[in-house]
């Protein structure tokens, strides 16, 4: 939906800086590059265009916030975070090239441990047995390029859990995108966690038993959703538990697969 809003405004010759979504209350945030005079004139026009897009998606419970993007003064000094990000951008190709030698076609995530930028942190799967060799190769490459890195450290992640997270992230996005901003479901938020190989999904709503038709519809819809071939292909054989909470954390729906 945000992509559709961005593309629609862009085609209408607006300089769109960003489009975002804030849940509970469901809010569409849009940043446009406009002067003060243009902003006053264009705000109601943009609002109407966005309302039409939301109506087409049956979204009827929302706020729209349109802000004017202001240019950074040309004499403004870069912040410390800007400097760090720039340096990391320069380091990334070095890490990418080095990690390819160890079979990492997709470069790992990197960052600094602390603000002094003396320790570079690299994410690696917890089954990686070549940590010592990788550390030596990375430090050698950085030293050759004269970066002021004194040490390289690793953050190890559970590879199986990470892959499961990749499988479920688009599923959670699909659930959220189809329910958020629709008054029938009163969705306040969607969250999930992976624990001991099982995915736990929580939907917090403002529904209660007086909305039994909406609760029943959600229950049946989710049952069908998890039987779709596309959904099964995405989540593979993962165990999961989906709970829809109503007012006062009342459990309205519980769907489980072990």
Strands (E), the chain: 16-22, 27-32, 63-68, 110-112, 119-125, 151-157, 187-195, 198-205, 239-245, 251-257
Residue 86: predicted pLDDT = 82
**Which tens digit of pLDDT belongs to each residue from 189-215?**
999 999 999 999 999 999 987 889 999
Going across the sheet that includes 63-68, the strands are 16-22, 27-32, 63-68
**Which tens digit of pLDDT belongs to each residue from 166-178?**
999 999 999 998 9
pTM of the model: 0.74
Residue 1: predicted pLDDT = 83
Burial class for 205, CB neighbours closer than 10 Å (0-12, 13-18, 19+):
buried
Residue 146: predicted pLDDT = 85
Residue 117: predicted pLDDT = 65
Residue 163: predicted pLDDT = 93
36: helix, strand or coil: helix
Residues 6+ apart with CB under 8 A from 152: 119, 120, 121, 122, 135, 138, 139, 142
**Which tens digit of pLDDT belongs to each residue from 64-76?**
999 988 665 556 5
Res. 82: pLDDT tops 80:
no
- pLDDT band, residue 135 (cuts 50/70/90): very high
Res. 77: pLDDT tops 80:
no
């Amino acid at each position: 939906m945000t992509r559709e809003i961005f593309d629609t405004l862009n085609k209408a010759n607006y300089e769109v800086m960003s489009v975002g979504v804030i849940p509970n209350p469901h809010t569409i945030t849009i940043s446009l590059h406009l002067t003060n005079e243009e902003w006053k004139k264009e705000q109601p026009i943009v609002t109407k265009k966005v309302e039409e897009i939301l109506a087409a998606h049956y979204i009827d419970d929302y706020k729209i916030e349109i802000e004017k993007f202001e240019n950074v003064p040309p004499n403004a000094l870069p912040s410390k975070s800007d400097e760090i990000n720039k340096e990391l951008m320069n380091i990334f190709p070095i890490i990418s090239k080095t990690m390819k030698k160890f079979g990492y076609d997709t470069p790992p995530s990197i960052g600094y441990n602390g603000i002094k930028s003396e320790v570079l942190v690299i994410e690696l799967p917890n089954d990686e047995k070549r940590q010592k060799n990788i550390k030596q190769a990375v430090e050698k490459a950085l030293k050759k390029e004269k970066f002021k890195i004194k040490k390289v450290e690793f953050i190890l992640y559970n590879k199986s859990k990470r892959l499961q997270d990749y499988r479920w992230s688009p599923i959670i996005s699909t659930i959220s995108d189809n329910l958020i901003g629709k008054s029938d479901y009163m969705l306040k938020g969607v969250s999930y966690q992976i624990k001991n190989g099982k995915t736990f999904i929580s939907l917090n709503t403002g529904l209660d038993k007086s909305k039994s038709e909406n609760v029943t519809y959600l229950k049946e819809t989710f049952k069908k959703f998890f039987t779709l071939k596309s959904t099964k292909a995405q989540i593979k054989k993962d165990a999961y538990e989906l709970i829809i909470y109503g007012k006062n954390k009342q459990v309205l729906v519980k769907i489980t697969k072990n």
